[in-house]
Structures are given as C-alpha cells and as structure tokens.
Amino acid sequence: MTDTPSPSVALDDQLCFALYAASRAVTARYRPMLDELGVTYPQYLVLMLLWEEDGQTVGQLGQRLALDSGTLSPLLKRLTAAGLVTRHRRADDERSVSVRLTEEGRALQEPACDISANMISALDLDREQFADLKGQLRTITERVTAPRQETAAR
C-alpha cells in the first residue's frame, strides 16, 4: 500500500490548480518584461531555443516546445514580421524549414538574461531548491504525457 493522496474534488486539494495558479502567476510576472522586448512568452521560448542553437528546423522547435506546426507557424510568422528571425527552406531537404536569428533577434539575448535574473530572484530559491523544483516539474510532465498503462484489475 502506498501513501498516495486521497481523491478529492476540493479545489485546494488539486495539484492541477496549484500548477495552473503558479503558471499564471509566473507568466504574469514575465509579461511586462517581455513587453519591453516586444515579444510574447511563446515567442520568448522560441528565441531561447535559437540562442542555444541557431538554425533549428521548425520541427525541432516544435518538438522541444511540444507545439504542433499549426501553433508554431503563426508564431514564427510574427517573429519574422518583427525582424527577429528568418525562415528558409533547407537546401538539403526542401520539406524542412530552418529558422535563424537576425541581428535584432540576437541582440535580445542580453536583455533576456536580465529577465532570467529577475525571475530567479523573485522565486527566492537556492540552487538545490531551484534544481529540485525543475526536476519535479519535468517528472510531472513526463508522467502525464507518457502512454497510460491500464491495469487489468479494475
């Protein structure tokens, strides 16, 4: 027998609500800082991936962000229109589109580090707590996205 939480319909007992409230609070904290950069939070995530490794394909970006092309394509069009990225069909595979930072997009990396510092400060966690929290959130993501194992004893 495991010591798992008892099922409940009380809002304060729900992990999903705690995650939802935390996500909204963090996103709200990001919003004014991202407004200064002229990007939305999803656009910021794309830029972060490109700062890590420029020239990724739309497919690679979508996989890392867990976004389908129907969501990612309009977002990339807006980043292109803002002059932050360029998109080009790859010469080695015409079906694949490569996304690259422009100078303007690259220039946002330094101010983005200030945003990261601001958020780390707001969380007021030490390195170990910060790493533990990220690890727990990744575990939650992995467990709820993994194929469900139905038990025969139902």
Number of domains making up the chain: 1
Euclidean distance between CA atoms 100 and 55, whole angstroms:
5
Give me the CATH number covering residue 131. Answer: 1.10.10.10
What percentage of the chain exceeds 70 in pLDDT? 95
Residue 33 DSSP label:
H
Please report whether residue 151 resides in a domain. no
Q: Do 84 and 108 touch, CB atoms closer than 8 A?
A: yes
> 154 falls in which pLDDT band (50, 70, 90)?
very low
Q: Model's pTM, two decimal places?
A: 0.85
66 by Cβ neighbours in 10 Å (0-12 / 13-18 / 19+) ranks as exposed
Q: Do 37 and 84 touch, CB atoms closer than 8 A?
A: no
Q: Which residues contact 40 (CB under 8 A, 6 or more apart)?
A: 34, 75
Residue 45: give the domain boundaries: 13-144
> 115 falls in which pLDDT band (50, 70, 90)?
very high
- In this prediction, residue 69 carries a pLDDT of 86
H-run or E-run covering 91: none
Please report whether residue 121 resides in a domain. yes
User: Per the structure block, which two tokens stand in for 13?
Assistant: 């007992």
Beta bridge partners of 87: 99
Which amino acid, 99? Answer: V
Please report whether residue 127 resides in a domain. yes
Please report whether residue 100 resides in a domain. yes
- In this prediction, residue 90 carries a pLDDT of 79
Q: Which residues of 112-147 are buried (b: 16+ CB within 10 A; e: fewer)?
A: beebeeeeeeeeeeeeeeeeeeeeeeeeeeeeeeee
Q: What pLDDT, in 10s, does the model give residues 125-150? A: 999 999 999 999 999 999 998 887 65
Most confident listed range (8-12, 66-70, 83-87) = 83-87
Please check the confidence at residue 1 and state whether its pLDDT lies above 70.
no
Please report whether residue 1 resides in a domain. no
Q: Give 1 or 26, the one with higher predicted confidence.
A: 26
